[in-house]
Structure 1
């Protein structure tokens, strides 16, 4: 759990979007994994004062660069010095004074490690005040084994809907290998189809949402294409089975022992095409990060 260059830039973008960090809670005490040169470049781009110390953890960055008066953290154990100790698998105590207290809740690389994700997510929004913001930076692709889960944008497009008490402000993909660009993700609800990703790089998802009201009890979200379209269709009458020409050709290739060989060649070709840093339009729109968060000195 920590703040890398993508997360640092995401904090700056959130600040430009009006997020207040006076009382910030991190899920897990956030270490700082930004190279000194990148910290200096970020400082100059944003017109910020020098930090009073080389930060090992996030508190100096939040207080000196983002105006936090309180930079707090919660963890399941005290081994990294978090003030609040709570297992996020369990609901936050109903009478806790921390509920609804924080202007910003940072989930930077935590919830993928929590088995009971729905409860952990609900804790995040319950700890956030009305009008405050929840920020996520979570694994999305090619990080299998890093935690319990990788996440799809589909989840957050459905979790953070106005009728559920939230405003979803941004969803980006960030490729670990490319610090200069993000990719704005199209909403499946807007394009009315699934927005998929298959590529050859580690991809993180950056999510910014605003809490509009206390949401109360929430039903589980349904995937958008089922909830908005597929489940509303009438049953389709069965169609008589026919053997298409492509299927017949596959049977010939299988009889010759060539089908798996050709499939393997196809997959290798696809992997080569996906090895670049670009994500496919129109589902993804490239964003220049330096231009997005740049400020005149």
Structure 2
């Protein structure tokens, strides 16, 4: 089986990156952080017009007619850009909730104990009674806690796979940030990337990212629950450990509010709590083994 991306898939990935670089670049990211997690409805509609939410809907139903592998590529780019909002819930609701496919409706989902973007949602899928707001470590992901919440039937695997794709995108981006900083930041008259300890950090980030990439892309093709669980574990590790190593490469600068590295780490922590959690994923893989 050939897991290499087709030319159409590469073009899709490039197109999404161009759109997000134009519409949600660093200035927009920092404005969103300073705005306290207010959802940009104009951006949401633009994503809808670009087919982000309707990607997997059949063309006969007004969708793009593509599959899960292409959705993974979209969410990888969204994770790379730290795009905020209940992207997965709205994507999964396309075709079920009027306006979701076009980006006219924002959909949140009571999947598990944590509910993202509940106050900004036009529609909430699943019972959300008793949800209470909690302080989120990620300034771009408002959270509510739902006591006793459980994933909605039939959604846990898809939520986990698309979350893994976002984690993969974030891991790739922090690797880029670390390498770029290591090449330009100098100490003792030479780039810090010339020091062995920094080389090892960057190499480890790259290895974790590419291992997760292979697993996530393969799981998108097979849609096997156990392969999705394994891909999720690898992607969570790549995103969290990668952001931590990126902080180390940046040194004291990485811990400042002005740097973007901490935003990737905080988002990775929140994503890791979605859908099939780490312990459940480990048990599922262990049972298959």
Query: TM-score over 0.5 for the alignment?
Result: no
Structure with the higher fraction of residues in helix conformation: 2
TM-score, normalising length: structure 2: 0.25
TM-score, normalising length: structure 1: 0.24
Structure with the higher fraction of residues in strand conformation: 1
